[in-house]
């Protein structure tokens, strides 16, 4: 099966960051041609004349099943938010986790996200729903101390069991999660890292999200969280540290030396008023790979990577009093090829190049917010003018999961309707 996208502006995100006018051809799961005109016949022709064709976005930190809790924990101080969130988590069922995942996947499909990195428990339920939705889940089972969890059994053993039963499944990449130093002792952290290293699995964890977290850890251990984790040997090239807003330059350097990635989540941090701004220029200069996460729908209320990308750029500029930081091309890099590197898949996704998986989105070039649209302004338009509402086609690994703004993989009306019943059961108590 060959699909040809014809006549678009192709933002390749290849090593030269070329922008081309032409065609992209896909055979089965992979891209087989990128260039001026694909002259061979195709089984399916998609006219994208005047549209933007670009790689699918990669969200490197979220809690997708919490999408069904949207609007239930707004305007709370961070400690109150955590307490309320943990109470709801303790009462969740497989069915509401499934509906939450499908709702979140629908939002991501609609917004051009083709891969997401998740940190939660019950990733087996999340995996099944994600497969039905048709996008890619890098699903990191949440590991924390056994006496601090709502999970049944030992969290690390649960994580290992999830990997053993789901490795090799199409578009599902099992990973290891660490909740954070505030609920993970030395033994828990070392066990998680050992398993991640043994199986070469991605590892997502919360790091230095709040000043309180940092100060408490210093009181208990004499070290800041980043220093403590580095000394334990937890940092490494498969590690993706979410938030990372309260770090010293020394911690940033330790992360760079270890080949780490970070997932900066600016909207979540601002909404929870946790203060601190991820030191993105320092991350870049010290060799830390920068990617973008939305966090979950209880702290952000949105899984919109286009919005997150723009807000990240504006926050960095405003915080530094420097309009030259977080440039448009860098923002798009964070959301695509850097995200691919964070999840260990930059050889397979994150750019439109022959041989890579066909993770492709199309933005409607007729939408007024994207015009005028010229080679000279297309990168700036994507970074600063675009919206998730501009996405009209979404393809993940060769599967068209949205066509002409219609999601093709799920019962959209059924999920939307059931989501409100679930919200009432979970949140009106």
CATH number of the domain bearing residue 193: 3.20.20.140
- Pair (337, 367) in one structural domain: no
- Pair (69, 119) in one structural domain: yes
310 lies in a domain?
Answer: yes
428 lies in a domain?
Answer: no
Distance CA 261, CA 287 (A): 9
- Pair (128, 170) in one structural domain: yes
**Coil vs helix vs strand at 289:** strand
Q: What is the largest CA-CA distance in the chain?
A: 67
- Pair (45, 65) in one structural domain: no
Q: What domain count does the chain have?
A: 2
- Pair (297, 393) in one structural domain: no
pTM of the model as a whole: 0.97
> Where residue 382 sits, what CATH number does that domain have?
2.30.40.10
- Pair (139, 39) in one structural domain: no
Domain hosting 19: range is 2-55+352-407
- Pair (117, 243) in one structural domain: yes
Residue-level pLDDT, tens digit, the chain, 429 residues: 999 999 999 999 999 999 999 999 999 999 999 999 999 999 999 999 999 999 999 999 999 999 999 988 889 888 888 888 877 777 789 999 999 999 999 999 999 999 999 999 999 999 999 999 999 999 999 999 999 988 889 999 999 999 999 999 999 999 999 999 999 999 999 999 999 999 999 999 999 999 999 999 999 999 999 999 999 999 999 999 999 999 999 999 999 999 999 999 999 999 999 989 999 999 999 999 999 999 999 999 999 999 999 999 999 999 999 999 999 999 999 999 999 999 999 999 999 999 999 999 999 999 999 999 999 999 999 999 999 999 999 999 999 999 999 999 999 999 999 999 999 888 876
Helix, strand, coil % (nearest 5) of the chain?
40, 25, 35
426 lies in a domain?
Answer: no
418 lies in a domain?
Answer: no
CA angle 112, 401, 46 (to 5 degrees): 85
Domain-ending residue, one of 289, 307, 342: 342
- Pair (201, 71) in one structural domain: yes
Distance CA 377, CA 382 (A): 9
- Pair (392, 313) in one structural domain: no
28 lies in a domain?
Answer: yes
**Coil vs helix vs strand at 25:** strand
DSSP of 135-172, one letter per residue? SEEEEEEEE--GGG--SSS-HHHHHHHHHHHHTT-TTE
Beta strands at 391-396 and 399-403: parallel, antiparallel or unpaired: antiparallel
429 lies in a domain?
Answer: no
- Pair (84, 139) in one structural domain: yes
- Pair (154, 23) in one structural domain: no
Q: Is the dihedral of CA 146, 152, 154, 155 positive or negative?
A: negative
233 lies in a domain?
Answer: yes
Q: Is the dihedral of CA 401, 402, 408, 413 positive or negative?
A: positive
- Pair (130, 223) in one structural domain: yes
423 lies in a domain?
Answer: no
């Amino acid at each position: 099966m060959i699909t040809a996208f014809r006549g678009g502006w192709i933002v390749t995100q290849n090593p030269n960051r070329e922008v081309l006018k032409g065609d992209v051809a896909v055979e089965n799961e992979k891209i087989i041609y990128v260039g001026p005109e694909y002259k061979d016949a195709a089984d399916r022709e998609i006219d994208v004349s005047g549209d933007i064709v670009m790689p699918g976005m990669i969200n490197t930190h979220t809690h997708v099943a919490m999408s069904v809790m949207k609007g239930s924990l707004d305007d709370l101080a961070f400690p109150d938010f955590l307490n309320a969130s943990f109470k709801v988590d303790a009462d969740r069922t497989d069915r509401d986790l499934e509906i939450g995942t499908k709702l979140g996947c629908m939002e991501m499909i609609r917004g051009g996200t083709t891969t997401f990195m998740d940190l939660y428990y019950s990733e087996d339920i999340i995996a099944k729903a994600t497969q039905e939705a048709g996008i890619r889940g890098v699903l990191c089972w949440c590991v924390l101390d056994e006496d601090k969890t709502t999970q049944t059994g030992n969290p690390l053993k649960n994580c290992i069991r999830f990997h053993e039963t789901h490795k090799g499944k199409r578009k599902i990449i099992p990973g290891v999660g660490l909740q954070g130093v505030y609920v993970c002792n030395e033994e828990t952290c070392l066990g998680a890292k050992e398993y991640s290293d043994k199986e070469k699995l991605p590892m997502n964890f919360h790091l230095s999200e709040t000043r309180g977290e940092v100060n408490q850890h210093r009181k208990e251990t004499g070290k800041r969280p980043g220093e403590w984790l580095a000394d334990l040997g937890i940092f490494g090239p498969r590690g993706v540290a979410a938030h990372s807003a309260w770090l010293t330059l020394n911690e940033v350097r330790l992360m760079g030396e270890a080949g780490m990635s970070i997932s900066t989540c600016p909207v979540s941090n601002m909404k929870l008023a946790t203060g601190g701004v991820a030191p993105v220029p320092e991350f870049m200069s010290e060799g830390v790979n920068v990617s973008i996460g939305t966090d979950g729908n209880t702290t952000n209320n949105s899984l919109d990577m286009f919005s997150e990308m723009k807000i990240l750029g504006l926050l960095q500029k405003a915080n530094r009093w420097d309009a030259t930081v977080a440039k448009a091309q860098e923002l798009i890099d964070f959301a695509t090829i850097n995200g691919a590197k964070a999840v260990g898949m930059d050889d397979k996704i994150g750019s439109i190049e022959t041989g890579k998986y066909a993770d492709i989105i199309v933005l409607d070039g007729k939408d007024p917010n994207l015009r005028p649209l010229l080679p000279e302004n297309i990168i700036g338009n994507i970074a600063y003018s675009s919206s998730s509402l501009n996405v009209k086609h979404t393809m993940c690994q060769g599967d068209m999961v949205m066509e002409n703004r219609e999601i093709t993989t799920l019962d959209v009306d059924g999920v939307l309707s059931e989501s409100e019943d679930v919200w009432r059961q979970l949140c009106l108590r």
